[in-house]
Amino acid sequence: MENINRLENVKEYVFKLLETEDSGHGTSHVKRVYDLSMNFAKKENANLEIVGLASLLHDMDDYKLVGKENSDKLINTKRILNQFSIETDIQEQVIEIIKTMGYSKLLRGIRPKTLEGMIVSDADMCDGIGANGIIRSVVYSVSSKGSGVVFDSTTFPKSNITIEEYNNMGSTYKGDNAINHCFDKQLKLKGYMMTNSGKEEAIDRHNFMIEFLREFFREENLPDWSNYLEKYLKDLESENI
């Protein structure tokens, strides 16, 4: 009971801290990742407190919020863990999860190794696809941290970006926008799920994004983009992503 109460206290504190964040990494995102992580954890018989803490704190030091020079230090994460008197061994496990999750880490070949880490990673990536994934991408694009562009029909995506391009000035590359982001990252996420729960959840979200893009390009009367999408999907399938 004490651990459950402690987790609830951390949750309330984190939600309050992030309630004004407008880049798609605020309270609503963290709440969805937390709920999905706890759902996965129950299905996978994982440690609920570690999963809960890692999911609540996973974006407290995200480079989009604190800058690249501060992100790896996890200052906010460590402060909160200490503030709520989390045991050292649990702190170490939570910190290790946060250090090894995220798309930029994936591009460097870094991935979570524990079941709890895989669960939180999958939940976070699931929230990057589907209906909420599309909304978050649009919100980020028009926020102070994004490019300000939702779609530019003259600039096709650069689907095989490098880690340097992904982290350049907070955007993925020159010409980055919400629709292009579907191609450079979001449509790939289904193939990076690490748990059975994550894989199952990602399928419907992935398929929804495909249908959204098909309809969007149809409404925009952009056959070249429709053809680009279908070729992209065939390439993904051949690469088993």
Q: Tell me: the pLDDT tens digits for 136-185?
A: 899 888 887 778 899 999 999 877 776 666 655 444 455 679 999 999 99
Q: Is the pLDDT of residue 116 over 80?
A: yes
What's the Cα-to-Cα distance from 151 to each of 88, 96, 154, 179, 216, rounded to whole Å? 46, 36, 9, 6, 11
Residue located via tokens 């030091």: 61
Q: Is the pLDDT of residue 67 over 50?
A: yes
pLDDT score, position 63: 63
pLDDT computed for residue 1 by the predictor: 47
All structural domains of the chain with their residue ranges: 1-121, 128-241
Classify domain 1-121 at the CATH class level.
mainly alpha
The pTM for the full model equals: 0.89
Please tell me the predicted confidence (pLDDT) of residue 26: 79
For the chain, give the mean pLDDT: 88
pLDDT > 70? residue 220: yes
Mean pLDDT of 75-88: 94
The answer to whether residue 104 scores a pLDDT higher than 80 is yes
Please state, for a pLDDT cut of 70, what percent of the chain lies above it: 85
Please say whether the dihedral angle defined by the alpha carbons of residues 53, 25, 38 and 196, taken in this order, is positive or negative: negative
Dihedral sign of CA atoms 218, 185, 21, 118 in order: positive
Residue 28, amino acid: S
Pick from 105, 136, 101, 157: nearest CA to 209: 136
Q: Given a cut of 70, is residue 91 above it in pLDDT?
A: yes
Tell me how far apart the terminal alpha carbons of the chain are, to the nearest angstrom: 41
Q: For position 167, what pLDDT does the model report?
A: 59
Instruction: Find out if CATH 1.10.10 is the number for domain 128-241.
Output: no
- DSSP per-residue letters across 175-198: T--HHHHHHHTGGGGGGG--SHHH
Region for 21 from its dihedrals, namely left if φ exceeds 0, alpha if ψ lies in -120 to 50, beta otherwise: beta
Q: For the residues 98-123, what does the mean pLDDT come to?
A: 94
Give the pLDDT confidence score for residue 169 in this predicted structure. Answer: 45
pLDDT at 92: 97
Task: Quote the pLDDT of residue 161.
Answer: 72
Reading the block at residue 68, the tokens are 């690249």
Using CA atoms, how far apart are residues 146 and 173, in angstroms rounded to an integer?
11
